[in-house]
A and B are shown apart, each in its own frame.
Chain A
Amino acid sequence: MDLELVQRVQAGDKKAFDVLILKYQQRIVHVITGFVHDPVEALDVAQEAFIKAYRAIPNFRGDSAFYTWLYRIAINTAKNHLTSRARRPPAVDVDAMDATNYYDAAELKEFETPESSLMTDELQKTIHQAIEGLPEDTATAIKLRELEGMSYEEIAQVMECPIGTVRSRIFRARDAIDKQIQEIMGEGE
């Protein structure tokens, strides 16, 4: 469905790009933080990466998944950012593709503080506990979707139920998980 959103952007629908931002900004910011090691700076670089992606989206042909394509742009933007900082004043903008040559793959490791690592562990534990507490059909639906990567149609075949039911069960599972997460994250409405 990312492809459908991309096609809408290509057809002039900017709101569709807004959804792509909402979907991927947390992952992209996390990846970029692994490079720039500064949360505020990471937001600026992520913003730049999304803008570059928007400008390049007419050339996106769907040969790879949209996130893979976006991830590559984000990585190159982050490296480009680091390169320009190391060579101040940045009189010339280093090409993003060239910038990939300046860094070793070892530097691609993502930046995890002990605090964020602990939070990730806590989130995973909470989610799995929430899934275990779900009714069996709901838990099965979310596991087949998230862990097995099945489409709604495939899940409907496996569980021998309509696609609408699958969608409803997955939503109920997500909603229950979300309530648990909000408790530990303090994100109440």
Chain B
Amino acid sequence: MTVNQNELLSALVDGELQGKELDDVLQLLNTNEQARRQLQRYQRTSDVLHDHGVSHHHIDLSDRISATLDDEVEFTTSSKNTAQIIAFPRQFWKQAASLAVAASIGALAVIGVMTQPQNQLVQVPQVASVEIETTPMIVATTGKRWTVEEQEVEERLNSYLVDHNEYAGASGVFSYARVVSYDMGQ
């Protein structure tokens, strides 16, 4: 170890090396065990003067750590973490938006159905256990019932109403129905 080398190590402790001198001292420390020990001793003196606690045993973790880090990727300027924006095609966003709208409507429909008072899905087993009444279903004959002159049309509407009432109890569909108009041609 030359005086100049030791002076470089002392300046390294003070953080006063730059450029080529720093390169030189890094090279020295990489190849010279005595230089490494000298640097640690200078550093310890500095630490004690600054009232920093130091270990009083000779320690050199650098070999162990270097061996572990040998397998690590060396950083490069381009390997610094930068945000990576993935550009999805326009079609993707259109499909995603459509899916989101459809999902929202579906969710609203489910919530709407679930909040209907007649939605007694949990009571289905009870319904199943009740004896089936044989009384024929009577379609309202008064009040707001439609009046059509043709028998065929009236029968068809009645059958629609009966079908509707059968489904309404089990599937949560609204139990009432209104026929606004009816055309034989439809």
A residues contacting B by CB (< 8 A) are 1-2, 4-5, 9-19, 21-23, 25-27, 29-31, 33-34, 39, 43, 46-47, 50-51, 54-55, 57-59, 110, 112, 116, 119-120, 123-124, 127, 145-147, 151-152, 167-168, 170-171, 174-175, 177-178, 181-182, 185, 187, 189
Q: Which residues of A contact B54 (CB under 8 A)?
A: 26-27, 30, 120
Q: What are some 6 contacts across the A-B interface (CB < 8 A)?
A: A11-B77, A27-B47, A30-B52, A47-B64, A171-B11, A174-B42
Q: Which residues of A contact B46 (CB under 8 A)?
A: 146
Q: Which residues of B contact A12 (CB under 8 A)?
A: 74-77
Query: CB of B20 within 8 A of chain A?
Result: no
B residues contacting A by CB (< 8 A) are 6-7, 10-18, 22, 25-27, 29-30, 34, 36, 38-50, 52-62, 64-66, 68-69, 72, 74-77, 79-81
Q: Which residues of A contact B77 (CB under 8 A)?
A: 10-12
Q: Tell me if B61 and A18 are in contact (CB < 8 A).
A: no
Identify A22's interface contact among B29, B45, B69, B81, CB under 8 A: B29
Q: How far is the CA of A1 from the CA of B61 in the complex (A)?
A: 21
- Since A47-B65, A54-B65, A58-B81 are in contact, a sample of 11 more A-B pairs with Cβ atoms closer than 8 Å, ordered by chain A residue number, is A14-B69, A25-B40, A39-B57, A51-B65, A54-B72, A110-B53, A112-B53, A167-B16, A170-B11, A182-B41, A185-B56
Q: How far is the CA of A33 from the CA of B76 in the complex (A)?
A: 34
Q: Which residues of A contact B30 (CB under 8 A)?
A: 15, 18
Q: How far is the CA of A45 from the CA of B27 in the complex (A)?
A: 28
Q: Tell me if B45 and A116 are in contact (CB < 8 A).
A: no
Q: How far is the CB of B93 from chain A (nearest CB, A)?
A: 31
Identify B43's interface contact among A22, A39, A170, CB under 8 A: A22
In this complex, what residue of A is CB-closest to B68?
Answer: A51
Q: How far is the CA of A50 from the CA of B80 in the complex (A)?
A: 19
Q: Which residues of B contact A13 (CB under 8 A)?
A: 26
Q: Which residues of A contact B62 (CB under 8 A)?
A: 18, 21-22, 25
Q: Which residues of A contact B12 (CB under 8 A)?
A: 1, 19
Q: Which residues of A contact B22 (CB under 8 A)?
A: 1, 4-5
Q: Which residues of B contact A58 (CB under 8 A)?
A: 75, 79-81
